[in-house]
């Protein structure tokens, strides 16, 4: 029975999502986590599939992050660990489109994978993991996420203004079309009052038919 299983995947699946979870650090220090399996990100995917707590866009981003973490090569490690900061990691893997807690989980998984692997940065990754809960709460990181938040709000405001402009433009064009049709009705009415000497009745009826089609 599933309820009788006690695998890390099932336990993490049951647990709530937190901004930062020391579980990854504890598992890495014990050397118990095979993080190349990306079991935590897959558990998030399963939780979305059966009980959607995440948007589809977030799940797509998680799948991309999972692939990026698995395929990170030695050159990527050099660029990340030579001058490591959480912000450099977020920018390197383009995590600004993720929620902050998910980006932090991605950072934790990446460091755990390196710490339990055979990379030359293994010891450095372990050292970073020990104080990761402090570095991700630093002032510079807080300011980084605040800037991301402001950029998202500006983008939403721009899109809202653009939509409002398009709606107003459509309304103006609609009013102009109605005014044009009204003027045509007036012209046809004036023609019909002038008698047969000014315009043929058959031509008047044809103009009226064209106006009805436009309406």
Tokens at 73, concatenated: 């090569």
DSSP-derived secondary structure for 63-113: HHHHHHHHH--HHHHHHHHTT--HHHHHHHTT-TTS-HHHHHHHHHHHHHH
Note the pLDDT of residue 149.
Answer: 81
Average pLDDT score over residue span 152-175? 74
Closest CA to 103 of 148, 71, 72, 73: 148
pLDDT in tens, 34-44: 444 445 555 55
Please tell me which residue, 163 or 71, carries the higher pLDDT value.
Answer: 163
Indicate the SS3 state at residue 151. Answer: helix
Note the pLDDT of residue 154.
Answer: 80
* 212 has pLDDT over 80: no
Contact at 8 Å (CB) between 204 and 192?
yes
Please tell me which residue, 79 or 125, carries the higher pLDDT value.
Answer: 125
* 143 has pLDDT over 80: yes
Tokens at 149, concatenated: 């938040």
Average pLDDT score over residue span 16-27? 42
Contact at 8 Å (CB) between 101 and 114?
no
* 145 has pLDDT over 60: yes
Note the pLDDT of residue 48.
Answer: 45
Note the pLDDT of residue 160.
Answer: 77
Tokens at 143, concatenated: 């300011």
pLDDT in tens, 50-107: 444 455 555 566 666 666 666 666 666 777 787 788 887 777 777 666 677 777 877 8
């Amino acid at each position: 029975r599933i309820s009788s299983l006690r695998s890390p995947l099932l336990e993490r699946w049951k647990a709530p999502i937190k901004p930062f979870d020391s579980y990854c650090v504890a598992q890495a220090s014990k050397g118990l986590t095979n993080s190349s399996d990306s079991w935590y990100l897959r558990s998030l995917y399963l939780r979305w599939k059966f009980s959607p707590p995440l948007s589809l866009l977030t799940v797509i981003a998680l799948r991309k992050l999972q692939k990026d973490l698995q395929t990170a090569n030695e050159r990527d490690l050099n660029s990340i660990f030579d001058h490591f900061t959480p912000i450099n990691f977020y920018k390197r893997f383009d995590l600004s489109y993720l929620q902050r807690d998910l980006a932090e989980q991605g950072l934790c998984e990446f460091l755990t994978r390196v710490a339990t692997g055979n990379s030359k940065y293994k010891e450095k990754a372990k050292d970073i993991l020990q104080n990761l809960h402090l570095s991700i709460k630093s002032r510079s990181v807080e300011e980084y996420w605040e800037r991301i938040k402001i950029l998202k709000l500006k983008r939403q405001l721009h899109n809202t203004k653009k939509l409002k402009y398009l709606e107003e433009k459509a309304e103006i064009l609609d009013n102009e079309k109605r005014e044009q049709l009204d003027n045509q009705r007036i012209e046809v009415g004036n023609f019909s009052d002038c008698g047969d000497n000014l315009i043929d009745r058959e031509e008047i009826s044809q103009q009226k038919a064209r106006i009805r089609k436009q309406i």
